[in-house]
Structure 1
Amino acid sequence: MESHVQRLVDQTWEKFSKYDLSQRLLIAISGIPGSGKTTLAASVARGLNKKHHESMHRQFPNRPTGPNPSQPDIAFVVPLDGYHLTRKQLAEMPNAEEAIFRRGAAFTFDAQSYLKFVMQVARPLTAETRTLYAPSFDHAVKDPVANDIAIPPTARIVVFEGLYTALDAPGWREAHALMDETWFVDADIETATQRVAKRNFAAGITKTFEESLARTKASDMRNARDVLDHRLPVQEMVPSIEDESWRSEEVLKLEDELDAQDSQEDYENKIRQERMMRIDSIAALAADGVGM
């Protein structure tokens, strides 16, 4: 996958180098649940920022090669997670029970707020351009956090990642039209199903792995079919990558041990001991130094 990331970084940097100072380059990354969208977005943003700092250092050798107040990052990531409807909003919907169970489906997102933000980011940069703020998602409280992701005037490349960035539906469709490029992370349903089921079980969403697998098939993979059946045109089909960012080293070690033991009961008991909430997209990006 590394070669694919590097190719995307290189070609994006080449395209960006032709933009003038009033332009931002907007990229959308879509894919089904468990395909690795967040990992790809973080990797590409990190690579683009690295290229930017190296380029500035070549022009001004006395400048450091990393971000600093006089030379901030230029590539930032905005996940769609922050555009989930709140639990309160879902509970007030006519089909509240279904909406709560299906949370993550397109109708449980605020597509119009997402579109409004994309329109703001897409405006030409001027001396009056102010910092924009997107919402994030707090997995501990299971609700969005307003104005949590800063996109400063120095942000020249903005990567939007999430299930519905290429969905042919109101709001999503208009936002897609504002992107300079849209990429789709290509993953097969079965592999993605296993990834999401393991992720949700490790996060404590279900009591057993079997329950997690059934829930994943009934909800997440239903969303996957929606994404696949109503996908708008994309410029890049990217082979899926392993998204291990949600698992700790301890959990990975346990899984290796349990694979050798081939015991589902031990798998569940030991994983439960090491259970951790999935690192939310923003915290993961911050830890990696991506646009923060």
Structure 2
Amino acid sequence: MFSTVVEAIQARQTARQRLIVGIAGPPGAGKSTLAARLTEVFADGVVVPMDGFHLANVELARLGHADRKGAPFTFDLHGYAALLRRIREHPDEIIYAPSFDHVMNEPIAGSIPVHPTTSIVVTEGNYLLHWDAVRELLDLTVYLDAPADERLAGLIERQRSKGLDAHDALDWVLRSDEANARLVQESAKLADLHLFR
């Protein structure tokens, strides 16, 4: 599985062009892990996560969407697309991207530098294929999925690590994460590569 992605990246690499690789898939599929592994192979690569474009918790509360954090409308889609476009069109600049702090459950602005020497940018998130404005900026798209029972177990554990009890963690996963997963799965057919871990 992993070697397939590495080979696809190598086939698309040129000496003069920065490559933007997008990894999409449902919550809990392993997108962040795959992205991190790719930057171990491609030492001049960097991960720019879609999660850095979550709206802040205070804004989600103001909008009445705190209980749906992770749904498409809880992200700054246009800011995300604008950053990817800037990364593509201005390879000679240092460009700062946001990350996401899973302990604070908040995005952190300007925490990931994309240097002129960065030849591969790996971006990962649920909706890369779903959003045309993002998909058109990607040179290679990968859809990653995993067995549902493994995904659900990992997602429940993720919510438990945030302080939810078993009941509330399961409720969040079934109500929010799985609703998002169904939407993400609809766009799987748009990916260049399909992987199942």
TM over 0.5, shorter chain:
yes
May I ask how many residue pairs the two structures share in their alignment?
197
AA of the residue aligned to 1:217: L
1:140 alignment partner, SS class = coil
Measure the CA separation in 2 of the matches of 1:178 and 1:101: 30
What residue in structure 2 maps to residue 223 of structure 1?
Answer: 180
1:5 to 2, 19, 36: 2
Structure with greater Cα Rg: 1
What residue in structure 2 maps to residue 34 of structure 1?
Answer: 28
Note the C-alpha offset of 1:27: 0.6
1:118 to 75, 84, 97: 84
User: Structure 2 stretches of 5 or more lacking a match?
Assistant: none
Measure the CA separation in 2 of the matches of 1:161 and 1:204: 22
Q: Cα RMSD (Å) of the superposition? A: 1.6
Identity %: 32
Deviations 1:203-245 (A, max 9, x none): 13312x23311221011111101111244611111112xxxxx
Q: Is the 8 A contact 2:22 2:128 kept in 1?
A: yes
AA of the residue aligned to 2:85: M
1:91 to 51, 57, 61: 61
1:187 and 2:184 matched: no
Q: Is the 8 A contact 1:84 1:104 kept in 2?
A: yes
1:14 and 2:11 matched: yes
**TM alignment of 1:71-110, pairs within 5 A:** 74-93=44-63, 96=64, 99-110=65-76
Q: Is the 8 A contact 2:9 2:140 kept in 1?
A: no
Measure the CA separation in 1 of the matches of 2:72 and 2:8: 31
Note the C-alpha offset of 1:15: 2.4
Alignment TM-score, normalising by the size of structure 2: 0.93
User: Structure 1 stretches of 5 or more lacking a match?
Assistant: 50-73, 241-292
Alignment TM-score, normalising by the size of structure 1: 0.64
Structure ranking higher on relative contact order (CA contacts 8 Å, 6+ apart)? 2
What residue in structure 1 maps to residue 114 of structure 2?
Answer: 151
What residue in structure 1 maps to residue 167 of structure 2?
Answer: 210
Structure 1 segments (4+ residues) deviating >6 Å:
none
AA of the residue aligned to 1:87: N
Bigger fraction of residues in strand: 2
Measure the CA separation in 1 of the matches of 2:149 and 2:3: 27
Note the C-alpha offset of 1:45: 1.8
Deviations 1:171-227 (A, max 9, x none): x211111111100002233331122012211x13312x2331122101111110111
